[in-house]
Amino acid sequence: MAALTRVRKAWRPAVVGALVLAGLTTAATPAAAATTNRTGLCNKGTGYSSTVEFPWRGGFTSYVVGPGKCWSITLAAGSTEPVNVYAHGNGAKVFIGSKTIRTGEHNVFRTYGSSVWSAYYTFSHS
């Protein structure tokens, strides 16, 4: 019985690690921001990274999204809240703008530009 318990415990970390890795990989894929009822950020620019911040959620911020990458999250429906968009590069964090979104709906922020200083964003909602 002791040997069986050791075997059972041995596979748990591998399964947990695989599930965590799968979740991180899914959140970082370009298709993730296109999923219905999610709020996402896609960085279409070059030479800088982007983030979105949710000030009404205690300043919760997305992962730093590099050029050509996307990030998304599902937010509980039923509220409107501001989202701040930032560009990061060369040691600077530059505020690009802010938009009020309706949570629980499809919201996508896309950043463009060739440097942190020329960065701008577009917003789509459906």
- What is the pLDDT, as a whole number, of residue 21? 43
Domain membership flag for residue 13 = no
DSSP for 57-121, please give it: GTTEEPPPB-TT-EEEE---SS-EEEEEEEEEETTEEEEEEEEEEETTS-EEEEEE-SSTTT-EE
Domain membership flag for residue 6 = no
Domains held by the chain: number: 1
CATH number, domain of 57, equals 2.60.40
- What is the pLDDT, as a whole number, of residue 3? 53
Domain membership flag for residue 11 = no
Q: What is the pLDDT along the chain (126 residues), one digit of tens a residue?
A: 555 445 455 545 544 444 444 444 444 545 445 456 899 999 999 999 999 999 999 999 999 999 999 999 999 888 999 999 999 999 999 999 999 999 989 999 999 999 999 999 999 998
Domain membership flag for residue 69 = yes
- What is the pLDDT, as a whole number, of residue 117? 96
Residue ranges making up the domain that contains 60: 29-125
Domain membership flag for residue 101 = yes
Domain membership flag for residue 18 = no
Asked if 28 and 69 touch (Cβ cutoff 8 Å), the reply is yes
Domain membership flag for residue 1 = no
Domain membership flag for residue 9 = no
Cα(102)–Cα(68) distance, integer angstroms: 25
